[in-house]
Amino acid sequence: MDAGEFATIQELAEAVGLAERHGSRQLRLAYLGPEVLKRLTCGREASSVSLYDLCFLAGEPWGEQVVRAVGT
């Protein structure tokens, strides 16, 4: 969307074969803080946070995301 290829979330979702609602939820993951992404992808600690929960955490400040996603 930043490149201007798609004007709306609906256009983007259709282009990749997702429902608009699902595409919108997935886009929220782009706003996860770098520390959360690092700990979830490279860390060795287990997390019980779901992908669904991460979509809603993305709207929180980055420091709060870390605490809620991995507990520290």
Q: For 43-69, write each residue's pLDDT tens digit.
A: 776 677 888 889 889 999 999 999 888
Give dist(CA 62, CA 70) in Å, integer. Answer: 12
What pTM does this model have?
A: 0.68
One-letter identity of residue 15 = A
Residue 36 tokens, joined? 């959360």
> DSSP letters along 27-63, please?
HHGGGS-HHHHHHHHT--------HHHHHHHTTS-HH
Give dist(CA 72, CA 68) in Å, integer. Answer: 8
Smallest CA-to-CA distance from 28 within 56, 62, 60 is with 56
Task: Give yes or no for residue 16 having a pLDDT over 80.
Answer: yes
